[in-house]
Structure 1
Amino acid sequence: MTPAARLSAAIEVLDEVLAGTAADRALAAWGRSRRFAGAKDRAAIADLVYDALRCRRTLARLGGGETGRGLIVGLSGGQEALFHGAAHGPAPLTGAERAARLAPAGGTLPERLDFPDWMEAPLTRALGAELEPVMEALRHRAPLDLRVNLARATPEAACAALAEDGVRATPLPAEPAALRVAEGARALRRAAAYLDGRVEIQDLSSQRVARFAGALPGQTVLDYCAGGGGKTLALGMHMQGRGRLIAHDIAPARMKDLMPRATRAGLSVETIAPEGPGGGRGPALGCDLVLADAPCSGTGAWRRNPDAKWRLTQADLTALTRLQDRVLDAAARHVRPGGVLVFATCSLLVEENDDRVAAFLQRNREFAGGDTLRLTPLDGGDGFFAARLARRPAPPAG
């Protein structure tokens, strides 16, 4: 596909997204119906779509409207040569589109930093003086981070192995097992170090949350909202493969890749049947540690999922906080007396973080609050929150 044809494709996909389809689904549907598009074409179109969504308000102003075409006109800088109407390229620019390039910058903070108006109050509450730099960071692409499986390789050895397959990565000081890919990201999934489990894709902040959880060798550890299993495998690494590692997710299909990944990493992982949002099915597991990385708004990961910030509503946020309360209560019953529950979200919002911890402690007097971890993109990875909640030891017998 020509560069102009890729712009036309991105316009088509963006129109679907603006009509309410999630970006990943719109891109997948476009790819299925356009078998002629190669992997490089699909990747380039995805980059255009996500870049446009990160800066949706700014690009709509520069491109003459909040449409797929308007966003791509804004993103392309109005390069006339790409808008020629031939060979599947987009139609020539109109006079109005040319004039839009001269429109003054948006005046309000949400207009300038590309987020919904209604989010200004909760984001200000959460970020205070860091609001502007954090929101600016969320307008740009996220880096690609890897976690070295320290049971299989050192960071230095992993970097050398990746380099042999065209992937240049460097260690990150913030986390002993973390690498950041500097070049060759598209070659990663073919690299031997990835295929044999020496490295896994995992954001720096996600790795820091797994370390914060404090899993130790010999413990019984439950990842209650395991999803694809990234944190499950990180917990297993910290356990040095010793102990009982359990994964649970309300939607088991999300864990379909966990077992192959665990096998590659040299880990043994059990799974338990989904308990439902209220929990209560099956016996309590008596775990030393339960990690509940709960469903959330994903505000801390808007760089990776930029369409999420435009789809989130106040009603969604309210529903999420109620779900987080249920998840916490369900996960807590698996913590043994003297054990620890770690609550985590990839949200920046107080409503989903501190407020949920406070409400949990009000409902569950056998738990006490402890350390917290707060991360934003200014710390090098996604935005994350984690809180350690200790269950009080059982009273002495007699």
Structure 2
Amino acid sequence: MTPSARLQAAIELLDWIIAAARDNGGSADNIAKKFFKERRYAGSGDRRAIREHVYAAIRRWGERPKNGRAALLGLVAEQPELREFFNGSNYGPAEIAADEPVASGEQIPAWLVDGFAGLIDEPERNALFDRAPLHIRVNGQRSTEVEVKETWPEAVGLALPQGYELPAGTQLEDKRLFREGAVEIQDLGSQAIAMAGAAAEPKLVLDLCAGAGGKTLALSAMLPPESKLIAADTDRGRLSRIEPRKRRASARNIETILLAPGKEVDSLEHLKGCCDLVLVDAPCSGTGTWRRNPELRWRMTPKRLAHTTELQQRLMDLGSEMVKPGGRLIYAVCSLLDAEGGDQTDKFLDNHPQWQEKSIDLPIGRPYRKGIILSPHHDGTDGFYFTCLEKL
């Protein structure tokens, strides 16, 4: 493919991604896979160049562009070499007209700027769009640092005991430690939240928004084998992914419960007032994961954010009902917006006087609004806010 043809392909792929963001469709990565599957003539170099154009545009524009052409035209001022490819050649984009739409603005949507946690300064904001590192969590019950170093000599130990960073692109699936469930891919921030949950060695744990079970598995590896963990979620597809992962890790103390949306309490009735720990890893805007999924900025709207914060409040209330006196609730979001973090903690404590903040000593993170904040620049993690609350 010529450079102009690659640029036109990037415009077309961006059109798909922009439409999906507007209509709550698939992720950019999945859309790109489908796009290239339908264009098998594109070689590896072509695909790489097209992806670079596409993700340069996604990372650059906080507001959703009108279309893919506008997104790339907006880059011309910063990448003037792109201008020559808008030349109307075969398979290339048409020449630039004087009055056509051009993307503009900052990396963070204007309506979200004031909502970020107070600790997010300019270096932190820049780090939100850096390339995310590859972190792994080692199951200390099934492997050792020596084995990790033998398998991946380039592994760098991180601030948490079982956390390591590997070079981007490292293959794990063909290694024995991964096949045997001794290693999982997991951001260090998620590991920290699991460590906070394991601090009091709870005997009965409910992971209320378990998803594919990353934090459930981490808690299982950190707790004694006689502990019991229940992974619950309303998404059958995501929840089903726990089964092969727990078999691989020999995590026999994990059970799953599929919840009916809006009727979760019916399935959890037997757990009311029984749990030592409830983890509410709530659905959120994902602002803390922009370096992995930058197109999330194009999906979020004030209306969607309001709906999300309402759901978070409901999940905190539901989770609190399952905690026994003296037990703990951990509320966590992969977001750096106060509306989803500290504001939610304040609202919960205002409405639940029988609860109090419980401090957790971790080697990473900073205290922030009755909780802990983790961020890319300060901690090398995705962005998280989480709080640990105790029932009196």
Alignment of 1:123-162 (within 5 A): 123=116, 126-128=117-119, 130-162=120-152
Identical pairs, percent: 38
Post-superposition shift, 1:349? 1.1
1: distance between equivalents of 2:10 and 2:247? Answer: 38
CA gap 1:159/1:77 in 2 versus in 1, 3 angstroms: farther
* Alignment-mate amino acid for residue 29 of structure 1: K
Partner of 1:232: 216
2: distance between equivalents of 1:159 and 1:42? Answer: 34
Alignment of 1:9-20 (within 5 A): 9-19=9-19, 20=22
SS in 1 for 2:390: strand
2: distance between equivalents of 1:12 and 1:27? Answer: 11
CA gap 1:226/1:215 in 2 versus in 1, 3 angstroms: farther
Partner of 2:38: 33
Partner of 1:362: 350
Post-superposition shift, 1:193? 2.9
CA gap 1:79/1:218 in 2 versus in 1, 3 angstroms: closer
Alignment of 1:99-178 (within 5 A): 111-112=105-106, 114-123=107-116, 126-128=117-119, 130-163=120-153, 168-172=154-158, 174-178=159-163
- 1:215-257 per-position Cα deviation (integer Å, ceiling 9, x unaligned): 5557111111111111111111111433111100111211222
SS in 2 for 1:188: coil
Q: Which has the higher contact order (CA 8 A, sep 6+)?
A: 2
Equivalent residues of 1:226, 1:249 under 8 A apart? yes
CA gap 1:255/1:273 in 2 versus in 1, 3 angstroms: closer
TM norm structure 1: 0.81
Equivalent residues of 1:84, 1:91 under 8 A apart? yes
Alignment of 1:175-324 (within 5 A): 175-185=160-170, 187-214=171-198, 219-268=203-252, 269-277=254-262, 279-282=264-267, 283-285=269-271, 286-324=274-312
2: distance between equivalents of 1:132 and 1:43? Answer: 30
Post-superposition shift, 1:35? 4.4
Q: Does 1:387 align with 2:387?
A: yes
Equivalent residues of 2:212, 2:240 under 8 A apart? yes
- 1:55-80 per-position Cα deviation (integer Å, ceiling 9, x unaligned): 1269x8xxx99625426757865257
SS in 2 for 1:362: helix
Post-superposition shift, 1:277? 4.2
2: distance between equivalents of 1:43 and 1:366? Answer: 55
SS in 2 for 1:152: coil
* Alignment-mate amino acid for residue 223 of structure 2: M
Partner of 1:103: none
* Alignment-mate amino acid for residue 149 of structure 2: C
Equivalent residues of 2:14, 2:54 under 8 A apart? yes
* Alignment-mate amino acid for residue 170 of structure 1: V
Post-superposition shift, 1:356? 1.1
2: distance between equivalents of 1:66 and 1:5? Answer: 13
CA gap 1:210/1:35 in 2 versus in 1, 3 angstroms: same
Unpaired segments ≥5 residues, structure 1 = 101-105, 393-398
CA gap 1:208/1:321 in 2 versus in 1, 3 angstroms: same
CA gap 1:50/1:345 in 2 versus in 1, 3 angstroms: same
2: distance between equivalents of 1:325 and 1:206? Answer: 21
Q: Which moved more, 1:142-151 or 1:40-49?
A: 40-49
* Alignment-mate amino acid for residue 78 of structure 1: E
Tell me which protein shows more helix as a share of its residues.
1
2: distance between equivalents of 1:230 and 1:48? Answer: 32
Post-superposition shift, 1:36? 5.0
* Alignment-mate amino acid for residue 118 of structure 1: W
- 1:42-64 per-position Cα deviation (integer Å, ceiling 9, x unaligned): 57654543332111269x8xxx9
SS in 2 for 1:158: helix
Unpaired segments ≥5 residues, structure 2 = 360-370
2: distance between equivalents of 1:205 and 1:86? Answer: 48
* Alignment-mate amino acid for residue 14 of structure 1: L
SS in 1 for 2:167: strand
Equivalent residues of 1:221, 1:244 under 8 A apart? yes
SS in 2 for 1:189: coil
Partner of 2:336: 348
Equivalent residues of 1:291, 1:341 under 8 A apart? yes
Equivalent residues of 1:221, 1:246 under 8 A apart? yes
* Alignment-mate amino acid for residue 128 of structure 2: L
Equivalent residues of 1:142, 1:304 under 8 A apart? yes
2: distance between equivalents of 1:39 and 1:225? Answer: 38
* Alignment-mate amino acid for residue 257 of structure 2: I
* Alignment-mate amino acid for residue 385 of structure 2: F
Alignment of 1:67-86 (within 5 A): 67-70=70-73, 78=81
SS in 1 for 2:336: coil
Equivalent residues of 1:297, 1:312 under 8 A apart? yes
SS in 2 for 1:350: coil
